[in-house]
Amino acid sequence: MKLKAGIFLDIENLIRSGGYGMRFKVIRQLVEAQDTVILRANAYLAINKAQEEADYEIHKRRERYRETARREGFHIVLKDVKIFTNEDGMSVYKANSDMDLAVDAILQSVNLDYVLLGSGDGDFIRVVRALQDTGRRVDLLSFDNTSGELVKEVDHHFNGFLVPGLVGPAENGTNRFRGYLHNCVAEKGYGFLTSQVGLKRSDARDDIFLHIRSITNRAGMPVSNEEFQTFEQTRTIIEFELGFKDGRAIAINANEFTLNDR
C-alpha cells in the first residue's frame, strides 16, 4: 500500500538558497518515487501586492511562475509583504510564511503518512519533531545554507542540487549526475562522491570513484591537488558522467558545477 504524502515548500527560502528555476514536476516525481500517492502539495510564496499593481510586467512574470506551480498541482499560499522603516530610515520588506506552513503541515498531516518539507530553515526543527512524534516520516529538500540540525532531525535529506533534473539544464535522458566529494585522498589524487543517481531514496550512493585527472574546474582547467582537497572541504557540487569499470562506479568527464549552470 502506498504512503499518503504531503508536500510543503518554503519557496522564498528555496529560491534564495539556490533553487531558482527548480521544476515543480520533478518535486512531485521525487515524492512519488518514495512509493507514495500525493494528497496535498502546498507552495508558500511572498507577494508584494503594491509592487505588482504598480508594475504589470512584474505581476505578469510572477504570476507566470505561480501558474507553473499550479499546473503541477500545487496549492499556492501567498503571504503579503509588510514594509517597515528601520532605525536608519530605510524601508525593510518582510514576508514570513513559516507559521502558515507549520500550521498547515501539522493540521493536514492528520491524513498523511509522509511529508516532504522544502526548506533549509532551522526554525522548522520543532515541526519536524511534532510530525515524527505522530508517526509521520519526514524528508527534507533543500539547497545551500541548510541548518545542520534540521538535516540531522529529518528521516532523509535530499540535496536539491543532486536530484536529477530538478535544477540546471534538463537531463534529457543523459547520463550526467551531480555529487560532492565526501572522502578525498588529495596526495594520491582521488576521492569518492556522494550522489543521487535516481529519485528513489535508495538511489543515493557514496561509492563513486573520482580521479583528479577526470575533473576540470570552472575555468575548464585541470585541478591541482590543493584545489581537489578544497572541493571536499566546501562540498563543491561536481557534475559528471557515471560509468562502471570492473564492477566499480566511476565518475567520467567531471566538472565543477558553477553558478551559471544553476
| H/E element, 229 | helix 225-234
**What is the Cα–Cα distance from 260 to 123, expressed in whole angstroms?**
30
* Beta bridge partner(s), residue 3: 36
**What is the Cα–Cα distance from 192 to 212, expressed in whole angstroms?**
11
- Yes or no: say if 101 and 42 are a contact pair by the CB < 8 Å rule: yes
**What is the Cα–Cα distance from 5 to 134, expressed in whole angstroms?**
14
pLDDT tens-place string over residues 204-226: 999 999 999 999 998 899 999 99
Provide the pLDDT confidence category of residue 192 given band limits of 50, 70 and 90: very high
**What is the Cα–Cα distance from 177 to 212, expressed in whole angstroms?**
17
Lowest mean pLDDT among 16-25, 50-59, 107-116, 171-180: 171-180
Q: The C-alpha cell of 13 is what? A: 527560502
Domains belonging to the chain, first-starting first, are: 3-159 (3.40.50.1010), 176-256 (2.40.50.140)
pLDDT tens-place string over residues 91-149: 444 556 789 999 999 999 999 999 999 999 999 999 999 999 999 999 999 999 999 99
Instruction: Reply yes or no on whether the pLDDT at 254 is more than 60.
Output: yes
pLDDT tens-place string over residues 151-160: 999 999 999 9
Q: How many percent of the chain have pLDDT more than 90?
A: 79
Amino acid at residue number 24:
F
Mean pLDDT for 38-55 is: 91
Instruction: Reply yes or no on whether the pLDDT at 182 is more than 70.
Output: yes
Instruction: Reply yes or no on whether the pLDDT at 58 is more than 70.
Output: yes
- Report pLDDT for 249: 96
- Report pLDDT for 32: 98
Q: How many percent of the chain have pLDDT more than 70?
A: 90
Mean pLDDT for 73-97 is: 68
Q: What is the mean pLDDT of the chain?
A: 91
- Report pLDDT for 52: 79
Amino acid at residue number 160:
G
